[in-house]
């Protein structure tokens, strides 16, 4: 059924795009945003902090906005690269499998990366088995209007997994597409991106937009690793399997009261990185698909001062993989092979009432319910004995409690949230909120927040913030069975974090802005998988600061940058949290040196990443990466051109591999994971 939906989305999209006439809205387009003054840039609004649009400088959270113009200026080609511009955020590949992107915020991360909530247009895309984004999830930037990131707990507003932070990818509206756009990008590793977008206004009331994208790459075969599996005696040298091929289609219809969205993201094929047993296998693959119907109704002035927002969505995710767990050995003449998969069904309904009928006071009340079911499937050629024995052929073990990795599971979640905002006077404002979540499988949790904002001067704003958040146990942590390395425990509870923050936002002149954020957090009940089954035995303490600056030097030059420091420790042993950079530095410059020409350059330094306490390998090497982008608008009428080089100086960037106590080298892949070397991309886009 999902495959048929995908074909339907793409077919409708192609028809709709070519049927759309060119037109223009009066709003500011994304291409114009770098022509705004710094005063206007600093007034860019954000929704992620409270669920309503407000000035970033006055939002009751530590947050950032990266716009489509920022993305173009720095030559960013996919969503994960956007996060390099955010203080305290570091993305790195999954050390255990697939090399999926993981996000570390202020030193908070885990194997499954489920401490960060990722949203697309406010919709949670979490795959319940891992508690993270769908396997192989990546997004081209063509349809991204902006990315909002909150680097602090958000469970009082968003519920589960808004633990270390929240990332909301907001796609382009019809006014931001503004006509018809076609683009093509080609570059290193046989990478290719193609996109087609269009928008039209219907009957002077409804806006219709369509976006179609296709992205593929052969992967960087220069990312070669030396592997050493001492259990069965396999050693060798091979490139990581990093190829991918996916499509992304969206149809969006809206007016002032209604929004209808159809979205299909389809990973047709992707490599599995380092392989299931840390032996890269060119025959392995991941396939995934996410299909979503999302309907929103926004009623203004139900009665004076009251607006009501209702949302109904239904989502289907599918994942299928092929793993060569071990090459041929002993009685496994074809190797040990597994074909796990699952289909996830999720329905959600929520209502939020917003009342501002009293001057300087605002109350938001939200209620909602979510239903979730995961239906696993699996075929393999080995049983669950220790050591495993061959079946003699591939056997479908779906529904077999003695062999499948997980039985069918379901979860329902009901929530109630309150948020109260009080503008005490022109200088002081208070935001407080609380949310109650009740889970059918592990119980309930309540999470509050408090923010006090003082606009001490026209040039100076300070914030004091407190928040508590939780991470819900994933289905793998609760329900995995028949897996020798990972077993679930139905008695695990949610992880908890408390965070205190102080922010100073200083703007001495219109063209310059400086923000200092200081934080301290405590994590309890971290789910630990170091034993056979998951248990709530971990703790983590952390503190640090982030200093960021924006300087609009003149009409042609804009500079931005940050320095971030964090010190995070295991709350039980006192050891440094491994793999998280203690120091980060970023700087970028965007220079419009001719009316139609611009040059964007960025530099990122990652430093001081410690190993785990029981890992005696040297600390992970620091690195500095420089990217640059040259852009020409209207090279030909309605045609823009850009040329980008990433990792200009071909830095040998390494991200950590997992420690293996049973291996004499400290890991099956001792020298960590090499990241892409120098790469170049050319892009043309047409706008009508």
Is residue 642 within 8 A of residue 75, CB to CB? The reply is yes
Is residue 368 within 8 A of residue 348, CB to CB? The reply is yes
Does the pLDDT of residue 136 top 80, yes or no?
yes
Q: What is the DSSP letter of 129?
A: T
Decide: residue 238, CB within 10 A, 0-12 exposed, 13-18 middle, 19+ buried.
Answer: middle
d(CA 184, CA 683): 6
Compute the average pLDDT of residues 152-158: 95
Does the pLDDT of residue 191 top 50, yes or no?
yes
- Give pLDDT, residue 613: 85
Q: Quick check: helix, strand or coil at residue 594?
A: coil
Residues 6 or more apart whose CB falls under 8 angstroms from that of 437 comprise 155, 159, 160, 413, 414, 415, 444, 445, 446, 447, 470
| Span 428-462, pLDDT tens digits | 999 999 999 999 999 999 999 999 999 998 899 99
- Give pLDDT, residue 95: 86
Lowest mean pLDDT among 42-46, 210-214, 330-334, 505-509: 42-46
What is the C-alpha radius of gyration for the chain, rounded to an integer number of angstroms?
25
- Give pLDDT, residue 106: 96
How many other β-carbons are positioned within 10 Å of the β-carbon of residue 179?
A: 19
Does the pLDDT of residue 1 top 70, yes or no?
no
The two structure tokens encoding residue 419: 């948020």
CA dihedral 326, 94, 478, 472 (to 10 degrees): -170
- Give pLDDT, residue 236: 84
The two structure tokens encoding residue 325: 């767990």
Better pLDDT: 437 or 388:
437
* DSSP letter string, 457-473: ETTEEEEEEEEEEEEPP
d(CA 249, CA 264): 5
The two structure tokens encoding residue 306: 């009251």
Domain boundaries, the chain: 2-687
What phi and psi, each to the nearest 5 degrees, are found at residue 384?
-100, 15
Is residue 267 within 8 A of residue 289, CB to CB? The reply is yes
Indicate the pTM of the whole model. Answer: 0.92
d(CA 480, CA 476): 5
Is residue 361 within 8 A of residue 421, CB to CB? The reply is yes
* DSSP letter string, 201-237: EETTTEEEEEEEEEEEE---TT-EEEEEETTTTEEEE
d(CA 253, CA 649): 45
3-state SS string over 343-358?
EEEEEEEEEEEEECCC
Is residue 670 within 8 A of residue 226, CB to CB? The reply is yes
Q: Among 25-29, 228-232, 632-636, 659-663, which range has the highest average pLDDT?
A: 632-636
Render the burial of 387-409: b for 16+ CB within 10 Å, e for the rest: ebebeeeebebeeeeebbbbeeb
Lowest mean pLDDT among 133-137, 214-218, 535-539, 658-662: 658-662
CA 227 to chain centre: 29
Residues 6 or more apart whose CB falls under 8 angstroms from that of 663 comprise 228, 230, 670
Dihedral angle sign, alpha carbons of residues 660, 664, 667, 668: negative
Q: State how beta strands 165-171 and 116-120 pair.
A: parallel
- Give pLDDT, residue 665: 58
- Give pLDDT, residue 455: 94
* Stated length of the chain: 688
CA 499 to chain centre: 21
Does the pLDDT of residue 639 top 80, yes or no?
yes
The two structure tokens encoding residue 18: 């070519």
Categorize the per-residue pLDDT at 650 as very low, low, confident or very high, splitting at 50, 70 and 90: very high
- What's the half-sphere exposure (Cβ side, CA atoms, 13 Å) at 183? 27
Compute the average pLDDT of residues 323-351: 90
Average pLDDT along the chain: 89
The two structure tokens encoding residue 142: 């063509």
For 2-687, the fitting CATH number among 1.10.10.10, 3.40.640.10, 2.40.170.20, 3.40.1280.10 is 2.40.170.20
Angle at 227 between CA 226 and CA 233, to 5 degrees: 135
Decide: residue 205, CB within 10 A, 0-12 exposed, 13-18 middle, 19+ buried.
Answer: exposed
Does the pLDDT of residue 662 top 90, yes or no?
no
- Give pLDDT, residue 394: 87
């Amino acid at each position: 059924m999902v495959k048929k939906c995908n074909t339907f989305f793409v077919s409708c999209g192609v028809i709709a795009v070519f049927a759309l006439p060119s037109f223009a809205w009066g709003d500011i387009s994304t291409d114009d945003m770098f022509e705004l003054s710094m005063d206007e840039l600093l007034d860019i609004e954000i929704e992620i902090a409270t669920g309503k649009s407000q000035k970033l400088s006055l939002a009751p959270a530590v947050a950032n906005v990266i716009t489509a113009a920022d993305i173009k200026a720095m030559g960013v080609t996919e969503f994960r690269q956007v996060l390099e511009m955010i203080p305290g955020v570091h993305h790195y590949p999954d050390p255990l499998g697939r090399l999926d992107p993981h996000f570390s915020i202020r030193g908070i991360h885990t194997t499954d990366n489920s401490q960060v909530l990722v949203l697309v247009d406010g919709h949670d895309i979490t795959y319940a088995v891992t508690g993270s984004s769908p396997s192989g999830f990546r997004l081209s930037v063509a349809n991204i209007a902006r990315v909002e990131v909150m680097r602090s707990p958000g469970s009082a507003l968003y519920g589960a997994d808004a633990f270390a932070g929240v990332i909301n990818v907001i796609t382009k509206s019809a006014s931001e597409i503004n006509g018809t756009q076609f683009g093509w990008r080609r570059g290193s590793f046989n990478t290719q991106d193609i996109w087609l977008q269009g928008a039209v206004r219907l009957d002077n009331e409804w806006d219709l937009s369509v976006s179609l994208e296709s992205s593929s790459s052969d992967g960087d075969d220069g990312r070669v690793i030396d592997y050493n599996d001492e259990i069965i005696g396999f050693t060798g040298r091979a490139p990581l399997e990093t190829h991918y091929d996916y499509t992304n289609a969206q149809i969006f219809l809206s007016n002032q009261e209604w929004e209808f969205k159809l979205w299909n993201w389809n990973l047709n094929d992707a490599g599995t990185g380092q392989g299931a047993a840390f032996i890269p296998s060119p025959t392995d693959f991941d396939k995934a698909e996410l299909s979503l119907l999302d309907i929103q109704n926004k009623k203004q002035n139900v009665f004076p001062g009251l607006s009501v927002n209702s949302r109904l969505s239904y989502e289907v995710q599918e994942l299928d993989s092929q793993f060569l767990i071990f090459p041929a050995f002993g009685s496994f003449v074809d190797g040990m092979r597994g074909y796990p998969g699952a289909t996830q069904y999720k329905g959600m309904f929520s209502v939020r009432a917003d009342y501002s009928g009293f001057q300087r006071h605002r109350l938001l009340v939200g209620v909602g319910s979510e239903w979730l079911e995961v239906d696993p499937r699996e075929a393999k050629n080995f049983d669950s004995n220790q050591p495993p024995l061959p079946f003699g052929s591939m056997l479908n073990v779906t529904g077999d409690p003695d062999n499948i990795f997980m039985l069918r599971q379901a979860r329902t979640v009901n929530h109630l949230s309150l948020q109260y905002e009080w503008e005490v006077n022109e200088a002081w404002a208070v935001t407080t909120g609380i949310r109650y979540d009740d889970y059918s499988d592990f119980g309930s949790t309540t999470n509050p927040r408090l923010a006090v904002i003082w606009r001490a001067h026209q040039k100076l704003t300070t914030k004091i913030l407190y928040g508590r958040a939780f991470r819900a146990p994933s289905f793998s942590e609760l329900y995995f069975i028949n897996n020798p390395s990972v077993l679930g425990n139905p008695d695990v509870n949610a992880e908890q974090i408390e965070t205190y923050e102080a922010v100073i936002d200083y703007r001495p002149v219109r063209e310059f802005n400086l923000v200092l954020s200081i934080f301290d957090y405590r994590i309890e009940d971290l789910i630990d998988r170091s034993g056979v089954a998951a248990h709530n035995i971990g703790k983590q303490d952390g503190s640090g600061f982030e200093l960021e600056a924006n300087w609009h030097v003149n009409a042609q030059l804009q500079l931005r940058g940050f320095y971030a420091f964090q010190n995070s420790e295991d709350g039980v042993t006192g050891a440094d949290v491994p793999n998280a950079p203690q120091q980060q530095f970023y700087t970028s410059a965007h220079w419009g040196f001719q009316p139609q020409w611009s040059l964007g350059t960025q530099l990122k330094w990652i430093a001081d990443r410690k190993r785990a306490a029981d890992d005696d390998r040297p600390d992970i090497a620091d690195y500095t990466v420089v990217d640059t982008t040259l852009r020409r608008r209207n090279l030909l009428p309605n045609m823009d051109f850009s040329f980008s080089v990433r990792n200009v100086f071909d830095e040998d960037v390494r991200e950590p591999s997992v420690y293996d106590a049973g291996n004499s080298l400290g890991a099956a892949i001792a020298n960590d994971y090499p990241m892409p070397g120098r790469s170049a991309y050319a892009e043309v886009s047409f706008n009508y």
